[in-house]
Amino acid sequence: MRTSFHWGGLTLAVALALTACGGGGGDDGDERDEGATLDTAGRLAISEDAATSLRIYDLDSGSVVSNFALANSPSAVYASPGRRYALAFQRAQDTVQVADGGVWQEDHGDHLHDYKEAPKMLAFRIDGPQPTHYDDRPGQASIYMDGRAPGVPSAALVFSDTDLAAGRFAASATFANAMHGFAEPNGNALVATYRATEASGPTQAEIWNRQGSQYTFVKRLETQCPGMHGSFTRANVTVAGCSDGVLVVSPQGANDFQARKITTATGVSTIAGHPDVPRFVGIGNSGTPSTTRFYDIDAATGTATPIAISGWTEGRLRRAHGFDRAGRYFFVLDDLGALHVLERSGSSWTTRKSIAASIPAMPAAAPFPAFATNEARDEVYLSDPGARQLVVVNTSSLEIARRANLDFRPSYLAWLGIAR
């Protein structure tokens, strides 16, 4: 069954049936009544390069326990805000499919109860024009639909794991124009991009306020952010990338936000952050040869400081990045296959270690290795499409713990499970 929602000319269709479908089932059985707390490392949702398969890899057994057939080859795979579901974006085909990873936690009032069951594919699906950006924050996330020019505007859906379990989204917003933008959930507000009709891309931020299941426009912030792309929100402060620095959007009161610019020597197009780290990392490419540059962004003081990675010479490009679960380390994979581990101390970052040949034979073209963080164990993961392996890095020893062989070329990764 499919229900359609019409917002200002935009139609997003959501299939509400929640029955399981698709191939594959778990071989670990159900553990619904085994106890309140489970000792589990969780699972990985892994897509196959140039194929429609989405595999659920159980980290406890070290094996694929489900193999689901998607409608199309995914353009990205993300974890839901509560880490129970995998979201398989299929941008070109205007759809997002949802898989239940089968590991989750419920609040039973006097205790938290853990569950581990066989994964399943949901019939629940979100259809809309070019789902692209995914902004995941504690407790809620948004899918940003780029829309299509002319005539099909961009839109955003905001939801929690509870919403996905019920086959719904919590709230939505429809914007004036199609654009490659973002919409950051920020408390009861939404920080979204704005593109002027004559502009090729977004250059300003707008504030929207949630009223029930809809967001209504509040104000457009005047500060310009040319080349606006990439964002992250922490503690109600949203930072977005600009071609001349970053834009910092922060609350001043109920539904009142202000924006200010922090300039950088080169442009920023990606913002990395962690809930427990009171700073942001700005990332962007510049120069000849093109080289990835990194900046420590202090939104509180309005400063941006270049981050120097030991051995990062001109021409080096970032291929993957991410924090460990505690936010102590920031990992950067370069285009030669070396994994650089940065550690923050106060306002500075130092290169704690570089692991050469983490990916022994780096692909010359996409798909490049993807990065995922285990939030229940001290591990992070890299996909190695060429070697058909999953690379497991221990974040305590900062060593490669193992290379798990796969019988397919992995592309996108998402960790699913119970954060500890």
Predicted confidence at residue 18, as pLDDT, reads 38
Q: What is the DSSP pairing of strand 348-355 with strand 43-48?
A: unpaired
**φ, ψ of residue 164 in degrees (nearest 5):** -60, -40
Helix (H, G, I), strand (E, B) or coil at 301: coil
Domains in the chain and their CATH numbers?
A: 129-307 (2.130.10.10)
The model's pLDDT over 247-296, given as tens digits with 9 standing for 90+, comes to 999 998 777 899 999 999 999 999 999 999 999 999 999 999 999 999 99
Report DSSP state, residue 218.
Answer: E
Poorest-confidence range of 149-163, 248-262, 362-376? 248-262
Residue 114: HSE in the Cβ half-sphere, 13 Å Cα cutoff:
17
* Distance from C-alpha of 61 to C-alpha of 65, rounded to nearest angstrom: 9
Report whether 35 contacts 52 (CB < 8 A). no
Predicted confidence at residue 12, as pLDDT, reads 54
Predicted confidence at residue 8, as pLDDT, reads 43
Q: Work out the pLDDT band at 347, boundaries 50, 70, 90.
A: confident
Poorest-confidence range of 26-35, 131-140, 245-254, 300-309? 26-35
Mean pLDDT score of the chain, rounded to an integer?
A: 92
Predicted confidence at residue 53, as pLDDT, reads 98
Predicted confidence at residue 22, as pLDDT, reads 38
Tell me which residue has tokens 């359609």.
4
CB atoms within 10 A of CB 41: 19
Residue 85: HSE in the Cβ half-sphere, 13 Å Cα cutoff:
27
Region 298-318: what's the mean pLDDT? Answer: 97
Predicted confidence at residue 89, as pLDDT, reads 98
Task: Tell me the two tokens of residue 125.
Answer: 């699906």
Task: Tell me the two tokens of residue 53.
Answer: 């398969």
Q: Work out the pLDDT band at 35, boundaries 50, 70, 90.
A: low
- Amino acid (1-letter code) at residue 364: A
Report whether 229 contacts 209 (CB < 8 A). no
- Amino acid (1-letter code) at residue 36: A
Region 45-65: what's the mean pLDDT? Answer: 98
**Among residues 262, 266, 354, 372, which one has the least CA distance to residue 312?**
354
Q: Work out the pLDDT band at 110, boundaries 50, 70, 90.
A: confident
* Distance from C-alpha of 207 to C-alpha of 46, rounded to nearest angstrom: 35
**φ, ψ of residue 34 in degrees (nearest 5):** -85, -10
Q: Work out the pLDDT band at 153, boundaries 50, 70, 90.
A: very high
Burial track 262-274 (b if 16+ CB lie within 10 A, e otherwise): bebebbbbbbbbb
Residues facing 20 on adjacent strands: 122
* Distance from C-alpha of 47 to C-alpha of 214, rounded to nearest angstrom: 33
Tell me the CA distances in angstroms from 366 to 194, 320, 386, 411, one per residue in order: 30, 12, 11, 9
Helix (H) or strand (E) run with residue 161 in it: helix 161-165
**Among residues 256, 211, 249, 214, which one has the least CA distance to residue 228?**
249
Report whether 267 contacts 244 (CB < 8 A). yes
Length of the chain, please? 420
* Cα–chain center distance at 244: 24
Region 96-101: what's the mean pLDDT? Answer: 98
Residue 410 reports pLDDT greater than 60 = yes
* Distance from C-alpha of 352 to C-alpha of 268, rounded to nearest angstrom: 24
Predicted confidence at residue 7, as pLDDT, reads 43
**Among residues 84, 97, 17, 19, which one has the least CA distance to residue 53?**
97
